[in-house]
Structure 1
C-alpha cells in the first residue's frame, strides 16, 4: 500500500545531531518504499542556534531531495536562547509551517514530530481542514523536561502546557514515543492503550567497521592526543539538558583527556568554566565531521553521556545507540529513575553516576579505564547485543505498516 505522507517537524538535514537525522532518514526510507513524502521543516539551525548565511532572509524554499519534497519555512532563531525566546522560536515555526501545510497537497496522513509541543495546534488545524488524521510523535516530553530543568516554574503556564499536551494526544489518531518510559507516561496521562505506539530511534542495518584504521581519519592524530592517553569522549548537543558542568570538576587531576565535542546554547558558559579551571583535563572541540566522529567513537576508552538532574525520565539520548555499536563502555551521568539508567541496567554495558557527583564520576571513569581486557570485552558484547533490537529495517518496517493502517482509517 502506497500512501501520501506529510512529515512535519522543526529539524531536518543537514543538521548533524538530535532529531534532524532521524526525521531525514524516515523520509528517505518512506520515499524509497514507494510512498509520496512531503517534509515541512525549517532552515537548518541546530545545534548551533544560528542559521546559515545563505538562508538569512529567506521566507520559504522548496526542493526535491532523495525523492522527498522538502518545504523549508522561515522561523525565528535567537542567538542566546531563553525561555521566552524559545517560545517565540517554536511558535514562529508553527505559524509559518501551518500556513504552508494548508497550501500543500492533501496527504493521507500527517506525521508530526514534537518538540515542538505547539505543533499539535498546527496539526489539528491542518487535519481538520484537510480531513486527514495525524500521528503525534514525541521525542521529548517537553513540559516535564522544562519543569525538571527549571526553565518554567509550577503555575498557570505549566497547567496550560499540560492541557495542550492532553488536548493534542486526544485529537491524534496515534501517539508514539521513543522509549518504554514515554509509553508508561502516556498511560499515566490517560492516553488510550490502542492509541499508544512505541517508535524508537534506530541504527543502521550494517554494523560499523570498528577496526583501528577504518576510514583513515583519526581524532587522536588530529588533536595530538597520544595513543597511551586515556580518552573519555562526549559528542553532541551542549545545552542545559546535558549538565556538562560536572565534567569540568570531575576531570581535575589524573592522566585522562576528557573531550567534549559539540555545539549548543550552554557552550559559552562551559568554555568559561574550563578556562577558569586550569587543572581540569576537560577540553572543548567543535562538532566533528562524520569521519572524525566515527574515529572518536573507535578511539575512545570511555564514551560519556550526561543528563541534568530531574530530566532523564522525559527523554532518551539517542546517541547511546550509535555509541554501543562501537563496543566502548558507557559512563552515564543520569538519575537512577531515568531512561538512560534503565537501559544501562538492562544492557549491562557500563556504569551510571548520579548528576552532580563529580567525585563519583571521576572514580567511575578510573574504574572503567583500569578494568581488565575481559571486562571491557564483556561490556562491548553486552552493548552490541542490547542495541541490536534497534536495527533500521526492523524499526522502520514495523512503523511503516502501522502508519499505513492509520492512513487507511
Structure 2
C-alpha cells in the first residue's frame, strides 16, 4: 500500500505523539509498504524549533525509509490558548500544498491524519475523497474539549462553533480511531457512527522496558541511597499534567518522611515554574528528557511512578507514559476519577486517587513507601498487563490489519470486524512470561 500520514509531530521529537507516528510509519515500511509523511519541524516539548531545521522546509528527507516533508509552523515560546490556535492554524495552512502535491502525483491508497492537529484534518479528508483514497483520522487527544475544559479558551460561543466544526471533520473520515475505550465512546457521542470507529491504543516495546534492580546510576548521581524511596514522573511538563500537586505533596512530606525523593524528568512550558516552586524542597530533583539507551534504567530507579492529572483532563487523553510505567514493573499512583479510562487501566496495578487532592497524593505515597510487598505485587500485575494490552508488536499488527481491510474492500467492514475497544481479557498468571 501507499500510505500518506499528515501529523504535526514526528521524529526527532522524543516523546508524545511524535514517538507513535514515527514508530508506526517505520513499522509499515518494515512490512513492505511505501510511507510518506507531511509534518512540522521538531519543537515539542521545549516549544522551540532547532536552528538547523529553518532551511529544511518543503524539502523531502529520508528518515529510516520514510519520506518526510517538513512545513513551516508558528511555535509560540509561551503557548497560551490563542497562541495554540495560531500554532495549529499555521500547520493547517502550510501543509496544504504538500498534501495536494503528494495526493496528485503519488496517489496514496490511504491518507492518515493524526490529531493533534485537528485543524489540518479537514483538508486531508477533502483531498482523500477527491483522489479516491481511504481516509483515517486518529485522535490522540480531544483538542477542543481540552482547550476549554482546562481554561485555555473560555468563550462559549467559540466553543460551540469549534465543536460544530469538529463534528463535521470527524464525520468526514472513513475511519476514526482513538487510544482508549472511553475516548472511542466519546467519538460516538460526537456523532461518529460506531461502524466507523476503532480503538487502536498507543504501545510500548515490552522487550526494551522491563523490570530491573532499583539501584541505578541515577540514584548514585543524585545522592539517593538504595534504602530511600523514589517517586518518578517522566514526560511533558505543561498545564494539564498538574505537576504542581507533586511539588506540594513533596513539601508536605519532607519533614516527617525525609527518605522520600521525587525525580521529575522532562521538558515543557511549565518546567521553570515547577523548579521555582520546588526551591525549598531538597528531595525534589529535576532532569531533562532521558535518552532511549538509558530510559529503562531510569524507569527502574523508581519505587513508584506518578501520573498526576487535573480532573478536567479526564478521558480527553490517556497518558501515553502509562504503558512504559506498567512495563517497568513498578506500581503507579494516578489521579483519576472513577469510571475514567485512566482509572480502569491503573486499578489493580497501582493506586487511584482523586484528581487535585494533594492530601490523598501524600497519603498514597506514604502507603506505598511503607509496604514494599504491596509495591511488588502491584508492579508485577502492571508488567503482566503491559504485555497483554500495550505490546508494540500486537498493536502495530492491528494497524496493519485494519489498513489492509480498508484498502482491499470496496466498503467499510461490519462492526464485528472492527476492534470493539474493550480491554483484552487478562490471562492467568502463568500465561505471561
TM-score normalised by length of structure 1: 0.93
1:205-243 per-residue CA deviation (whole Å, 9 max, x = no partner) reads: 5363533399xx721123222222211100100001101
Check the 8 A contact 2:242/2:310 in 1, yes or no.
yes
SS of the counterpart of 2:313? coil
Check the 8 A contact 2:200/2:395 in 1, yes or no.
yes
> Following superposition of structure 1 onto structure 2, how do residues 379-394 of structure 1 map, counting pairs within 5 Å?
379-388=378-387, 389-394=389-394
Corresponding residue for residue 219 of structure 1: 218
TM-score normalised by length of structure 2: 0.88
The question of 1:29 aligning with 2:27 is answered: yes
How far 1:284 sits from its partner (Å)?
A: 2.2
**In the aligned structure 1, how far is the partner of 2:392 from the partner of 2:226?**
33
Check the 8 A contact 1:234/1:260 in 2, yes or no.
yes
Corresponding residue for residue 277 of structure 2: 273
Corresponding residue for residue 315 of structure 2: 313
**Structure 1, unpaired ranges of 5+:** none
Corresponding residue for residue 353 of structure 2: 353
Corresponding residue for residue 430 of structure 2: none
Corresponding residue for residue 285 of structure 1: 287
Corresponding residue for residue 10 of structure 1: 8
How far 1:280 sits from its partner (Å)?
A: 6.3
* RMSD between superposed Cα atoms in Å: 1.8
Residues 208, 286 of structure 1: alpha-carbon distance in 2 compared, 3 angstrom cutoff: closer
How far 1:338 sits from its partner (Å)?
A: 2.8
Corresponding residue for residue 145 of structure 1: 146
SS of the counterpart of 2:235? strand
Residues 205, 267 of structure 1: alpha-carbon distance in 2 compared, 3 angstrom cutoff: closer
How far 1:304 sits from its partner (Å)?
A: 0.7
**In the aligned structure 1, how far is the partner of 2:340 from the partner of 2:286?**
26
Match of 1:301 among 296, 300, 303: 303
The question of 1:176 aligning with 2:174 is answered: no
Match of 1:326 among 325, 328, 335: 328
The question of 1:92 aligning with 2:93 is answered: no
1:340-369 per-residue CA deviation (whole Å, 9 max, x = no partner) reads: 112112xx0111122221121111001011
**In the aligned structure 2, how far is the partner of 1:136 from the partner of 1:279?**
44
**In the aligned structure 2, how far is the partner of 1:172 from the partner of 1:238?**
32
SS of the counterpart of 2:203? coil
Runs of 4+ in 1 over 4 A off after TM superposition: none
**In the aligned structure 1, how far is the partner of 2:245 from the partner of 2:318?**
20
How far 1:306 sits from its partner (Å)?
A: 1.4
